[in-house]
Copies of this chain bind each other. A is one copy, B any other.
């Protein structure tokens, strides 16, 4: 009898996450996940459940990893305006390099999966709340009006998804940085 192949769930999940990130939910099959992770069906199923289970785990991992990076970027010792810039610089970094063309997995999930899956919609909403909280914290020391306290942070969170959208639309580093510069110039002159 063949010995059951062992695998590291974290490594398999990282690979599954990248697969879903690139191809989305509907265009990824269990067969793709088996070949992409190198783990057989029973191994994946025993830890993560069915295809949707693997997807939900992947999306949660994505949120956890990148929110942590954005929180770190927001915590630089600098003025609030520079902290905002630092967050967007990190967003641009995440959407380029090895991840070029993938965009933002949460943005992809919001468009493709959330409209017909309540559980995924909840993860997307929670991510947005957490992302908005980063900007609220950054701007808390200078925000005075309701718009500055509530609406500007929400607007900035939306712009993060927009960077992901631009990256997935094949925009290159120059075009993405240009978008961030326009955004920054608008916020800065306000």
Contact = CB atoms under 8 A, between A and B. Distances in A.
Interface of A: 22-24, 26-27, 101, 103, 107-108, 110-112, 114-116, 121, 124-125, 128, 147, 151-152, 154-155, 158-159, 161-162, 165-166, 168-170, 178-179, 181-183, 185-187, 189-190
B161 A165 contact: yes
B152 A158 contact: no
A145 to B, nearest CB: 10
Given A165-B111, A165-B161, A182-B155, A24 B23 contact: no
A121 B155 contact: no
Nearest to A170: B121
A156 to B, nearest CB: 9
7 contacts: A107-B111, A115-B168, A152-B182, A158-B179, A161-B162, A162-B162, A189-B190
B116 A168 contact: no
B124 A151 contact: no
Contact of A112 (B111, B178, B181): B111
Contact of A165 (B155, B165, B189): B165
